[in-house]
A and B are shown apart, each in its own frame.
Chain A
Amino acid sequence: MTEFYREYLAVAVLIGAALALVGLMLGVGKLIRPVRPQADKYITYEAGSDPVGGWGQSNVRYYVYALLFVIFDVEAVFIFPWAVGLEPLGIFGLVEMVVFILILVLGLVYAWRKGVLRWA
């Protein structure tokens, strides 16, 4: 067997071990636990409150936060390479990045003024 396949053998062993472990734990649990079926036990657990049934729908308000996160998260893509190359870029690079970040902040100011950040 070549080196390449030997490396993948480790992956296969790991998968096998994981499956065996899960099977073992569930199997042992099934052997030693008492079985007393009740209807209530089969209801989906929803943080202690009564389950609603069907598909739950998350509040559309979360979407705006997700959106803000996506935008600001992705802008980090530009900030990391800039941070690495900050020294050779010097003052020019600093000014450019400040302009870039200010424009981003403008987006946040917009969201704030439009009341998006208030949980009403």
Chain B
Amino acid sequence: MNPVIDYHALAPEIVLSVTIILCLLVDLFIPDRPRLVPQLASLGVLAAIIPVLTLAVSGTDVSMFGGAFVVDNYALAFDGLFLVVAYITLLVSFDEIADGDYYGGEYYVLLLTSVLGMVMMASSRDLVSIFIALETISIPTFVLAGWRKHDTKSNEAAIKYFLIGVLSSAVMLYGMSLIFGFANGTKLSVISEYSAGSPPALFAVAIFLTIVGFAFKVSAVPFHFWAPDTYEGAPLPVTAFLSVASKAAGFVALLTIIRFGFFNSSDSWQPLIWVLAAASMTFGNLAALRQTNIVRMLAYSSIAQGGFILVPLAVAGDVSGPSAWEAVLVYLMIYAAMNLGAFAVVMAVSRRTHSTEISSFAGLGRVDSVNAVMLSLFMFSLAGIPPLAGWFAKFVIFRAVFDAGTTAAVVLGVIAALNAVVAFFYYSNVVRRMWFDEAPEVVSSPRPASVALTLAIGITVVVVVVVGVYPEVFARLGQLAFASG
């Protein structure tokens, strides 16, 4: 009665787990070589990408543990996204973590544990495994948010994130327990069959609670209030990780649970996601307009971007083909590149200015023109201006909206279009100040950006430019991921 285990299909998870254990041991027993752990961590992440590639080439779908854990193209696409994002996060972390007098080794252990949860999430097809993966992602990030433990802001970031995190888990889990009771099972395939029948009205309540739990995780309005505070208080690499990787993981969970589980009761979840999408885009953008700190601005902008990612989900029930699902994947990949890039440049600049206020970016074009060009590229990409990758992300969203073609979808499309215009103002404001304003007094003791940070900016800017010019690269990936579904 032993479960059948395909070790090749589990290889990414196993490689990550072994790396985590090695990092912890190295940190404990070889403490006089602090550079060893980060090197080991990045090697481990790169090594975990190899089985993802070989699995993608072999092309056979593997289903394990009674269908609770599935390795198919869909899972592999997100595995790849998470691992690349993890690698870039590691690159931007080296400087920050080495500079502070904080525990270095544990940072990488916790970060990789969170990534392990993400890789598990992509393959989960059961409410329980989704829940476990989500908690594996969240619990290390609670600690990471409070990394600078002698800093009141960081403490506050951690406790707010923690309380909201456990609250959302409880709400989500209550929804899941009701679903278990109705559908007589926790596998998404069982739930899908059940919802194809005529489920009672209370089933909609269960779906509502579950989705509200996820809405907290992806900081959708009105469940977003923790995000700006946590993003500002946490150390910058952690903020980048939270706003890209852990947010993407939340969306993957939402996508999986809707696509494989709730899809048939679209009357229950479509209106809810519609409201979340419209509110997130509108509120996120309006709040971002008022911000004077670039990290808070990026926090609100990421809430708004989250709203855009919800748009294809809100119309998914009315789209016959896979274009809505593809839109989520493509948008997440492009969003990851441009947001990580923006954070990397902010980190590089703040190493010189010791400030994240937007005013400290004034005149950057004359002082540090390379970083100014990079940040301008990322800002214009986030605003969705061609020929940078951001325009293609917006394009796939609107394509899904037109494929749906219902009145609700078109109204949401109009709201999204208006918001894209509003967003342009605050993104371009940063660019305007960099190039047209006078530079403030230069603060002493600049710390040069390391090779790793420069490499991170390089990778993300290449993605943003190349995908902007040749969007077929990601479009093809999206088609492959959803080919069988």
Contact = CB atoms under 8 A, between A and B. Distances in A.
Direct A–B touching, Cβ under 8 Å: yes
Most chain A CB inside 10 Å of its own CB: which residue of B2, B21, B25: B2
Contact of B2 (A89, A106, A109, A110): A89
A109 B1 CA distance: 34
A98 B25 CA distance: 18
Nearest to B29: A113
Contacts of B190: none
B1 A106 contact: no
Interface residues of B, number: 7
Contacts of A109: 28
Interface in A81-112: 88-90, 92-93, 103, 106, 109-110
Nearest to B31: A113
B143 to A, nearest CB: 13
Given A110-B28, A113-B28, A89 B1 contact: yes
A interface secondary structure, majority:
helix
Contact of B24 (A88, A92, A106): A106
B28 A103 contact: no
Q: Please classify how large the interface on chain A is, using the bins under 10, 10 to 19, 20 to 34, 35 or more.
A: 10 to 19
Nearest to B3: A92
B121 to A, nearest CB: 20
Contacts of A88: 1
Contacts of A110: 24, 28
Contacts of B29: 113
Contacts of A90: 2
Contacts of A106: 21, 24-25
Nearest to B17: A103
Most chain B CB inside 10 Å of its own CB: which residue of A89, A90, A113: A113
A103 B21 contact: yes
Interface string A42-82: 00000000000000000000000000000000000000000
Interface of B: 1-2, 21, 24-25, 28-29
15 contacts: A88-B1, A89-B1, A89-B2, A90-B2, A92-B2, A93-B2, A103-B21, A106-B21, A106-B24, A106-B25, A109-B28, A110-B24, A110-B28, A113-B28, A113-B29
